[in-house]
Structure 1
Amino acid sequence: MNKSELVKVMAEEHNLSKDEAVMLVNVFFDSIREALVEEGRVEIRGFGSFKVKEYKGYKGRNPKTGESVKVSPKRLPVFRAGKELKELVNK
């Protein structure tokens, strides 16, 4: 399922216009993004949690040329499925 399919399902199941469903989906995802940037963690009980993981910089290698390359430190969002979601998927 992609974002446009999610919008379509929301609109159909809740008798919303497509514009209203788009707005709700955007608010939901924007809220998750903002919380990750500000707080570094979002937990949705029964679904899972998102958190920001920090990676240190390291010295890598360009596989094409063999040249050493400095890889900068970075922060990446990661998702961990909750117990209920894991059980549902594994039925």
Structure 2
Amino acid sequence: MIKSELIHIVMLRHPHLYQQDVEHIVTTILGDIANALANGDRVELRGFGTFSVRHRPSRSGRNPSNGTAVFIEEKWMPFFRAGKEIQERLNQKQ
């Protein structure tokens, strides 16, 4: 699902809302999650999952095209851990 599909689904479920308002709501929520992660905070959405940031230290790697050694700088990576409800929903037997 992409952002425009999410906006469309929300609009279908709540026809009393204008498209501009739904776009603003979705953009605001996603922006606030991104800002919290950029500040190093953890975002927990009960029943859905937890977003956090993990540190990856610098290391040496290999260029796959020619095999030469390259230096990979340290970086911070977003990490998502699904909540219990989502895991149960994905793994329910049909």
Structures share a fold, TM > 0.5?
yes
Matches within 5 A, 1:1-91: 1-14=1-14, 15-91=16-92
Q: How far is the alpha carbon of 1:81 from its aligned partner?
A: 0.2
* Structure 1 stretches of 4+ moved >2 Å: none
User: How many angstroms does 1:18 deviate by?
Assistant: 1.0
Deviations along 1:41-80, whole A, 9 cap, x unmatched? 1111111001001000001111211211000001000100
| TM-score for both structures, normalised by structure 2 | 0.91
1:66 is paired with a residue of what secondary structure? Answer: coil
CA distance in 1, matches of 2:41, 2:32: 12
Structure 1 unpaired stretches of 5+ = none
- TM-score under structure 1 normalisation? 0.93
Q: 1:39 to 1:58 in 2, by over 3 A?
A: closer
Letter of the 1:2 counterpart:
I
Instruction: Give the total of aligned pairs.
Output: 91
SS at match of 2:78: strand
Percent identity for Structure 1 against Structure 2? 40
CA distance in 2, matches of 1:84, 1:3: 22
Question: Structure 2 stretches of 5 or more lacking a match?
Answer: none
| Two-structure CA RMSD over aligned residues (Å) | 1.0
Deviation at 1:21, TM superposition (A): 0.7
